[in-house]
């Protein structure tokens, strides 16, 4: 069984962005590509992002957006769609270990 690992967490264009990749113990079938999840929250600090809240509370209390693109190439497009500049989206995607 695998787990989500945070590979990037920083403020970009006034919003807190966290990138996670799914790591499995057996990465032998690399044919499906890297599973990526991006969470974007308005104006959060590092300390606020590290606070643990139950999932339902988190969704109800903030206006964060979670993106689960089918392919890494789709992530930049999805980031632009939610308001990031093309340059910021490219910088965020560039942080992924590919």
Tokens at 84, concatenated? 């990031």
Sequential pLDDT tens for the chain (98 residues)? 689 999 999 999 999 999 999 987 665 555 456 799 999 998 745 555 555 444 444 443 568 999 999 888 899 999 999 999 999 999 999 999 87
- 3-state SS of the chain? CCEEEEEEEEEECCEEEEEEEEECCCCCCHHHCCCEEEEEEECCCHHHHHCCCCHHHHHHHCCCEEECCCCHHHHHHHHHHCCCCHHHHHHHHCCCCC
Q: Is the pTM of this model over 0.85?
A: no
Domain ranges of the chain: 3-43+62-94
Query: What pLDDT is attached to residue 56?
Result: 44
Rounding to the nearest 10 degrees, give the CA dihedral for residues 7, 20, 94, 27.
90
């Amino acid at each position: 069984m695998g787990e989500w690992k945070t590979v990037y967490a920083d403020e970009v264009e006034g919003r807190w962005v966290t990138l996670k990749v799914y790591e499995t113990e057996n990465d032998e079938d690399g044919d499906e590509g890297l599973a990526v999840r991006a969470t974007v929250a308005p104006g959060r600090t590092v300390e606020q992002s590290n606070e643990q809240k139950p999932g339902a509370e988190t969704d109800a209390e903030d206006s964060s957006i979670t993106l689960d693109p089918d392919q890494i190439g789709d992530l930049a497009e999805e980031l632009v769609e939610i308001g990031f500049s093309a340059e910021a989206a490219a910088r965020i995607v560039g942080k992924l270990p590919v």
